[in-house]
Each structure stands twice: as structure tokens, then as C-alpha cells.
Amino acid sequence: MRLTKTLVAGAAFVALAMGTVAARAETVLRMNNWLPPHHSQVVHTMVPWAKQVEEATKGSVKVQLTDASLGAPPRQYDLAVDGVVDVVFGVLGYTPGRFQLYKMAEMPGAEKAEAVSAALWRTYKTHFEKADEYKDVVLLALFAHGSSRILTSERVGPVTTLDAYKGKKIRVGGAAAELVNAGLGGTNVSAPANEVYEMMSNGVVDGTLLPFEAYPSFNLKGVVKYAASVPGGLQFGIWFAAMNKEAFARLSAEEQQALMSVSGEALSRLGAQTFDNADTAARAQMVADGVTLVDVEPSFVEGLQRVLVPFEQEWLATADKLGVDGKAALAMLREETAKVDAELKAAAK
């Protein structure tokens, strides 16, 4: 009897210990979400990626989104640095001057955000990573939204010429948008995308530079009446996903490898695919809502090309100062963008 009790007690202890180990083995990563719950990036990028992480780690790592944002959109990177949360998604352009090398990917060059994003990640790994711009976090992805359109109100009308653009107060969300807008003669009004509806409805701005997908994502029905597109793209905003370094270090080597297997280029392309698909759906919705879609005139494109010349030269000088071969990096970025763009077009046939 005494032996039996001892064995039972021992078995119970082992079971308890194993349960404790199992509980400790499951890691929950908190991911901040500052976007509306219905936003395409939440539904089709963040939530699916969280599931991919759980599957890749066989359930030992789970990702949970916050119910409410723990910081304003421009603070996302710092939330990860400071460990307020474990994972963030954000927009690099919301913190002007902090990051430099990604900016060439914001310039015109492709029809699909996925092409820009895959090319940017490859160029980052080959050329930009050595500059250590993201040394305070573990970088998980870099991806573009679709090309920005010139979205204006009924009061302003469509903007298809340089003369019509000049003097307009335009809401912009990053350094590249500011440069393009100012170069074309617009007045910069910097603000996050979630403030566009109020700014346009109150007449604080005449319009904004945003992709089609922003129309449903930020509930712009009623304030946006015209959308002007630039053939070949106007400007791409670059998003990022990052993880707190200490949180990453607490994962086992196997878990780190599994998490990164669904991040990097894979997550970059996922985020971009979400934007591309959302652009297609949003464009159809805008037409149904009576928004007038137009293309800018050829002279507008010529003016945009003139604006980009000094920007490119300045970027090359900045890259060299950061220890990066700017010409080689730019050549790779453009070559990879064209390569992936061609692959996507072939696959779509």
C-alpha cells in the first residue's frame, strides 16, 4: 500500500511538472493594432500571419492582437523597441528622418505593390541590412501599399494637370509623399490616414495621396468624389513589421527559425498582396459609389519625372554615407521589381 501511494504521488508530481513545462512552453506574443478592425491589413495580413506563426511553431508560439492601440500610428516602432508590445505593424514614413534607405522603393516603378515589396526585401537583405537602421528591433517585413492616387472632394474637383495641382493643400503620410507633393506644387499637411475623413470633410485639406484601398478602409465614402491615377504609379508608402528584440530572444532557436520562415519576404509579399487585392475591390466600390476615376495628363507625368531627379541623387549620396553601394542597390531594386512584376503578369494570364 505504501509503495502504491508513493507511485501514485510520484506520478501526480510528474504530471504536474509536465503540465507546468507545457504551460511555460507556450509563448503568447502581443501585437499592437492601431487600425480599424475591418481594415484589410488586419483581416488578411495580421490575423493570417498570426495563424501561420502558431502553425509553424506547432502551437508553442501564439500571437494575439490588442483590443485597442497602445500608441498612436507614429509610435509603433518605439512600442516594439521599448517592449510595450512584442510585435508591431507600422508605416516608415510616419517618422520622417528616422529611416532612409527604403525611400527609393516609394518612387514610381511598378503597377503592383507585391513586386515593389519582394524587390525591397531582397535588396534590404543584400545591401541595406549592413547599415543597421533597424538595430533596435528584429525586422520581420517591409512591404508597400498600392500606388497612391490623388483623392479630392467635390468642392475641389478632379486634379489631372500640374496647374490644377499647384497650391492644393494635400494630406500626406510620409517623406516621399511630402517630397512628391511639394515638388508638384502642393502644400504638405502631414497626418495619419485615419484622420483623412475629418480633414477632408471639414475642408482642412483639399485632398490626399492614398491608394484605392484607403477608401473603404478609412470610410472615405462621401468625402472623396474624384480619384486621379498616374500611369506607372505616383508614390508607394512602405510599411514594416517588427518584433521586440528581448521577446524574440526568449524564443527557442527552433521557434525563432519557424517564426522567420513565415516572415521576411513571405510576410512582405503577404502584406503587399493584401493591398493589391484591396485596391482592386476598392476601385470597384468607388465606381459603384459614383466616384469619378480619371488619369492625369501626360504633362503631369513629365513634371513628376523632373521632381524625382534631385531626389534620386540625394538618396544615392545618403546611401553612400551609410556605407551602402547606392548605385548597386538601386540597380538591384529596379531589376528585382521588374522581374517580379513580369512574373506576376505572367501568372495572371
Co-location of 69 and 134 in the same domain: yes
223 and 244 part of one domain: no
Task: Please indicate, yes or no, whether residues 41 and 153 belong to a single structural domain of this protein.
Answer: no
Q: What is the pLDDT of residue 96?
A: 77
On whether both 310 and 258 belong to a single domain, the answer is no
Strands 238-244 and 137-144: antiparallel
Among 152, 155, 141, smallest CA distance to 91 is for 141
206 and 331 part of one domain = yes
20 within a domain of the structure (yes/no) = no
Largest CA distance in the chain: 97
Is 157 found in the same domain as 216? yes
Domain match, 93 and 219 both: no
- Per residue in 91-121, is it b (16+ CB within 10 Å) or e — as a string? bbbbbeeebbbbbbbbbbbbbbbbbbbbbbb
Q: What is the pLDDT along the chain (349 residues), one digit of tens a residue?
A: 444 444 444 444 444 444 444 444 689 999 999 998 988 899 999 999 999 999 999 999 999 999 999 999 999 999 999 999 999 999 998 887 899 999 999 988 787 899 999 999 999 999 999 999 999 999 999 999 999 999 999 999 999 999 999 999 999 987 778 888 999 999 999 998 889 999 999 999 999 999 999 999 889 999 999 999 998 788 888 999 999 999 999 999 999 999 999 999 999 999 999 999 999 999 999 999 999 999 999 999 999 989 889 989 999 999 999 999 999 999 999 999 999 999 998 998 8
Phi, psi of 27 (to 5 degrees): -110, 130
- One domain for residues 70 and 203: no
CA distances, 85 to each of 66, 71, 291 (Å): 9, 10, 39
In a domain, 16, yes or no: no
Confirm whether 342 is domain-assigned. Answer: yes
**pLDDT of 178:** 87
Whether residues 127 and 257 share a domain: the answer is yes
- What pLDDT was estimated at residue 25? 60
282 within a domain of the structure (yes/no) = no
- Count other C-beta atoms under 10 Å from residue 6's C-beta: 10
Task: Give how many domains the chain has, as a whole number.
Answer: 2
Inside any domain, residue 2: no
Which pLDDT score is estimated for 34?
94
Determine the residue type at 147. Answer: S
Per-residue pLDDT, 307: 86
Residue 8 belongs to some domain of the structure? no
Please tell me whether residues 133 and 160 are part of one structural domain.
no
The reported pLDDT for the residue numbered 207 is 96
Domain of 192, CATH number, reads: 3.40.190.170
Domain range enclosing 67: 26-146+237-277
Same domain, 298 and 155: yes
> Is-contact 17 55, C-beta < 8 A?
no
Q: Give the CB-side neighbour count of residue 10, counting CA atoms within 13 A.
A: 6
241 and 213 co-located in one domain: no
Structural domain includes residue 306 = yes
Residue 19, all three cell numbers: 503540465
In three-state secondary structure terms, 323 is: coil
Identify the domain boundary among 277, 304, 334.
277
Q: What is the pTM of this model?
A: 0.83
